[in-house]
Structure 1
Amino acid sequence: MKKIYHLGTCTTCQAIIKETGIDKKGFEMQDIKTDKITAAQLDEMKSRTGSYESLFSRRAMKYKEMGLKDKALTENDYRQLILEEYTFLKRPVVFVNDQTFVGSEKKNIEALKKALG
């Protein structure tokens, strides 16, 4: 499976897509703002990464607005927050066959490039 969950208006996502050429490599592209992720899709991401927390973005503006940094969040909380608010999903999430890449950290993008050949 070749799929990317991204935010079309995010300049970081746009740069990663351009840099890796994902848009030209037959990937299914899902803009999570216009085509919201389903519970089943999120559960699949969790099964590939091991936790909902690893998919959760603490950079989202609502993280501070909602006072979440002062709360002890559970896996169920992370799942619910991501489903309710797309900006809580760490982006992009890329599936390349059996490999999964989450987020925009440099080492992650380098690993993604290697996986794409």
Structure 2
Amino acid sequence: MENSFIYLDSCNTCQRIKDELNLPNSIQLQNTKEQPVNVKQLEYLKKQSGSYESLFNRRAQLYRKRGLHEQDLSEVDYKELLLDHYTFIKRPILIYDDKAYIGNSKKTVAAAIEALDND
């Protein structure tokens, strides 16, 4: 998978982390609103994270608006939702040296910074 940084341009947390990472020019930037995650990327991310559910952003406004918090969602449901709307993907995601760093936890960001600094 190509080295890339998947983020939402209007997300302040994504912007802050993007700045913290000090990304090299070799990393392709992908604003998920303009260029949503495709099936190939989603399959790769599922392999990295273990499930579609682990890639799902429950903080997305549409999660409650669509009443999804009241449903028992399956892996198939999560996959369809992730492909349906850009806000459902956890972000940001750094794909670097065939490893994905998914989300904005301090631990994930620290691991991404370390991976970038080691090169």
- Specify the TM-score bucket, using the shorter chain as the normaliser: over 0.9
SS at match of 1:35: coil
Aligned amino acid, residue 19 of structure 2: K
Aligned amino acid, residue 101 of structure 2: F
TM, length-normalised to structure 1? 0.93
Residue deviations 1:16-72 (CA, integer Å, cap 9, x gap): 0001111x3421111111112211221111122211111100000111111111111
TM, length-normalised to structure 2? 0.91
Matched, 1:12 2:13: yes
Alignment partner, residue 50 of structure 2: 50
Alignment partner, residue 63 of structure 2: 63
RMSD of the TM alignment (CA)? Answer: 1.1
- Runs of 4+ deviating beyond 2 Å: none
- Once residues 43 and 99 of structure 1 are traced to their aligned partners in structure 2, the CA distance between those partners, rounded to angstroms, is 13
Unaligned runs of 5+ in 1: none
Alignment partner, residue 33 of structure 1: 33
CA apart distance, 1:98 = 2.4
CA apart distance, 1:12 = 0.7
Unaligned runs of 5+ in 2: none
Matched, 1:110 2:110: yes
- Once residues 70 and 36 of structure 1 are traced to their aligned partners in structure 2, the CA distance between those partners, rounded to angstroms, is 26
CA apart distance, 1:15 = 0.5
- Once residues 38 and 97 of structure 1 are traced to their aligned partners in structure 2, the CA distance between those partners, rounded to angstroms, is 19
